[in-house]
Structure 1
């Protein structure tokens, strides 16, 4: 392929076409007429020697070659945009950036609530979008700029990202106020006899880290409800005799509504890390955001230790 033939505008149009999969919608986003964008699509097909997008019942369907191009193309355009952008010092007092953070609902409650309070005070003009973690697409989302930060465990962190540890976490058990089992410390027998709620972020799971620990001890518990939201756990536990084992910082947030108790066996601790794309490593706004997340995490660790 002759690089001198490549018009950068064509690649920008291809990125939008692959995202929208509809010429009319893509033309609107690009502020082009539909005939002009159709003409660009013909040029792109000649350039890549592939149809790229095929007519479908609704919109257009990308070819295998188009899908192969989509991720690298978005990353390349994002990198190029960063290269040519005028580098200005970040002023939080006048900034109007939108920051996108992917994390679980438990980390949203524990980290993002104090983080957003900080941002509202220091940078009232910025906006924050909290997004669910799509592990299979996280590296692609970070590369394309769809996501700025990921707050996840090291196991969920794509190796292509830069990262730093934020805090370590353990587990505690939640039971409703007045629950018969809350009158004394939980024993292993009592714990296994109770009916449990399990939080499975992917949804539908009935076995987790607690079950792995119990299996090593030759014991089992009864998981009768599986949910994909930690925040739903407090409602279920508060209205039943179910018990739920959740991250300790989240459990302590509900200590005025529920009994918070230590599990009867040692459940492996885990850590939460912050990840970002190498392209954003030196970006002033992104560096400032990472500093604010780190400061919020320090406050969390301090409250947990007190």
Structure 2
């Protein structure tokens, strides 16, 4: 490292040209420098390496043993450096062989991942996609360490240090099985509270949610008889029983076996966002995937 501090890139480029040409004049022409400039740089290189590097000979200059040992490593290093600083190639999905990892709930799998899959498979057939369980407290660290490429989370409660793009606003509707005798029309508040409800409790075992908070604000309470961790199980339950549930509209509208009506109480919805780390913000492949997801909404 001590020797590296004495060097600049121009000196190494000059040395590479001298080792290729064995002639100061031709090296100068190759570099578009003047001959005196190359001579000065050669003198500086000799001082740094403590070696003549090039000696006069009958047909130009002859490299010393030290110079010969530098030739190939120097060429490889300069080629690697040139590749590192070259403009980034545009992403070609047709030939890409990326593996992307997305963190999502079952809700996001159905409303965000599934809609974009056909286009992803058609446009980037050699890529792979891994969907892992969303664990909100771990999102930021997973993104920082490259363990996930994207996460789908409600805007409220998203880690503030991650890049974010709002995708859509979701609202809740009342869903039950098609032909449910009490869902032929929008129920009254009293009828709504008398129904047997299923609730999604991501933390497990909870029987109180945003709907219950909205009801309590007007002095009402509903009958919650089942608590489950995932929305997709809720949809299966309400499609096959007389239980009902307040579910995100985008999810409910996907299932023909469900009857969907407006609830008699105003329940706050939420905004869904796509999250990613700054480290991948400018990556062409990552940017392509983000744009694909947005276009698939």
Q: TM-score, normalised by structure 2?
A: 0.69
Contact 2:194 2:223 in 1 (8 A): yes
Q: What is the distance in 2 between the residues matched to 1:109 and 1:156?
A: 21
Between the aligned partners of 2:85 and 2:157, the Cα distance in structure 1 is 32
Q: Which residue of 2 aligns with 1:62?
A: none
2:150 matches 1:149: yes
- Aligned CA distance change for structure 1 residues 84 and 234 (closer, same or farther; 3 Å): farther
Matching residue of 2:172: 171
Instruction: Provide, for residues 195-216 of structure 1, a one-character-per-residue CA deviation record: whole Å limited to 9, x for no partner.
Output: 1000112222111111110111
Name the structure with the higher helix share: 1
CA distance in 2, matches of 1:288, 1:174: 36
CA offset at residue 160 of structure 1?
1.0
> For 2:187 and 2:263, how far apart are their aligned partners in 1?
7
- Which runs of structure 2 are paired with 1:100-249 in the superposition (5 Å)? 100-249=101-250
Which residue number in structure 2 is paired with residue 278 of structure 1?
278
Residue deviations 1:28-51, cap 9 Å, x none?
A: xxxxxxxxxxxxxxxxxxxxxxxx
CA RMSD of aligned residues (A): 1.6
TM superposition shift of 1:151? 1.0
Q: Distance in 2 between matches of 1:263 and 1:156?
A: 26
Residue 157 of structure 1 deviates from its aligned partner by 1.4
Query: Residue 267 of structure 1: CA displacement?
Result: 0.9
| Bigger CA radius of gyration | 2
Specify whether residues 131 and 85 from structure 1 end up closer, same or farther in structure 2 by C-alpha distance, changes over 3 A only: farther
Q: Distance in 2 between matches of 1:86 and 1:206?
A: 55
Give the aligned partner of residue 268 of structure 1.
Answer: 268
SS of the aligned residue for 1:253 comes to coil
Distance 1:100 1:85, change over 3 A: farther
How far apart, in 2, do the equivalents of 1:133 and 1:155 lie? 15
Paired residues for 1:25-64 under 5 Å: none
Deviation, 1:280, is: 0.6
Out of 236-245 and 175-184, give the one that drifted further: 175-184
- SS of 2:279's equivalent? helix
CA distance in structure 2 between the partners assigned to 1:204 and 1:97 by the alignment: 38
Q: Which residue of 2 aligns with 1:89?
A: 90
Q: In the alignment, is the contact (CA less than 8 A) between 2:185 and 2:261 conserved in 1? A: no
Whole-angstrom distance in 1 between the partners of 2:87 and 2:153: 31
Structure 2 partner of 1:38: none
- Deviation (angstroms), 1:274: 0.7
- The SS at the match of 1:185 is coil
Contact 2:105 2:134 in 1 (8 A): yes
- Per the TM alignment, residue 118 of structure 1 is displaced from its structure 2 partner at its CA by 1.2
Unpaired runs of 5+ residues, structure 2, are 1-83
Task: Say how many residue pairs are matched.
Answer: 214
- Secondary structure of the structure 2 residue equivalent to 1:106: helix
Distance in 1 (CA, whole Å) between partners of 2:86 and 2:279 is: 13
Shift of 1:233: 1.1
